[in-house]
Amino acid sequence: RDRGGDWSSDVCSSDLCTIVCTLALTIGLNGGYGQNTVSAASTKNNKIVIGHRGACGYLPEHTLESYSLAYGLGADYIESDVCLTKDGIPVIMHDITIDTTTDVAKLYPNRKRADGHYYVIDFTISEIKTLSVHERTQEGSTTNVVYPGRFPLNSAHFEVPTLEEYIQLVQGLNKSTGKDIGIYPELKQPKFHTDNGQDIGTVALKVLRKYGYDTPKSKCYLQCFDPSYLIKVRTKMGAKMKIIQLIGEEPDSPGANYKKMMTDAGLAKVATYANGIGPWYEQILDVDGNKVKLPVTNPNLVKDAHKHNLVVHPYTFRKDDLPKYVTSVDQLMKRFYFKENVDGIFTDFSDHAVKVLANGPKK
């Protein structure tokens, strides 16, 4: 549908969503990738697959269509990133800015800030819903995509979903398929939101509690890079769901010292408020496949985390962005699942991870 409201010859968003749901569920329920793609956690390995931004290796990230495909491809959890609009509605967007994944510059050319960026929090939900989501482009470009082999740029209309729409989709599919797939939301840059007059944790927790995700047994992991804010979420906001402390390469959050956090003592502290960690996988093995160079700071990171009863869910496994020591994403996933003994992985390609877990460590 074009911006004037007339129907074009292109497939509209709702029709495309229906098509993708049908395709995804056909793959997921009747077998895909050469096998029956049952939920990975149902295998004997008891390790999980996290659909990173949905199935963004195949469809534009953080769209209902991408989530539908991740569901059908067998992900155990489907990851989302939460930001707030000007009127306080939690929407799904990886960045607090919307430059590189939407047509905001075309629709609202005069709404950028002095730094040249367009921010989610400067737009109302009705304005956000007018945007079309597309494959991620390079910073400062509207034509150069980050991953050229993925979904064609601007070839279909996808909307920005709200947190509630994402949850309703997953819960609806759980009911219609009989599965129990979980959600994995991330609170994006709490300090930025606070500085702009909104508290992202309070808003997000209200929605999560509305849909029954605030118990230790809920199929929900709540994640954030900001340790001081996560402690607040656990102790002052009373969050009871599983919490994951994300770990970055740089201390880009207030009070964060990720190098210290990855020590045995640091992990012991994380265990007082969180249930696991989400490091970059090169903090476990560097780009050459060893544990002696930065960004690896603790060669025993996984073992030490497990000692403190923390699960380890590294990010992000992509078949179009491989380190030097592997030739395929399956080989990379197998290495981390079975040799490094991580408990789950974030991946843009859930079907590959499901296949690796189904085959086990020997294949």
SS3 readout for 99-146: CCCECHHHHCCCCCCCCCCCEHHHCCHHHHCCCCECCCECCCCCCCEC
Instruction: Give dist(CA 83, CA 119) in Å, integer.
Output: 10
DSSP 211: T
Instruction: Give dist(CA 54, CA 314) in Å, integer.
Output: 16
Q: Would you call 157 a catalytic residue per the annotation?
A: no
Please state whether 258 falls in left (phi above 0), alpha (psi between -120 and 50) or beta.
alpha
Backbone angles phi, psi at 181, to 5 degrees: -85, 140
Who contacts 175 (Cβ-Cβ below 8 Å, separation ≥6)?
none
| Beta-bridge partners for 83 | 91
From the candidates 94, 134, 157, 313, give the one annotated as an active-site residue.
94
Instruction: Give dist(CA 304, CA 250) in Å, integer.
Output: 21
- Beta strands at 77-84 and 90-92: parallel, antiparallel or unpaired: antiparallel
Q: Would you call 52 a catalytic residue per the annotation?
A: yes
From the candidates 52, 134, 193, 313, give the one annotated as an active-site residue.
52
Active site residues: 52, 94
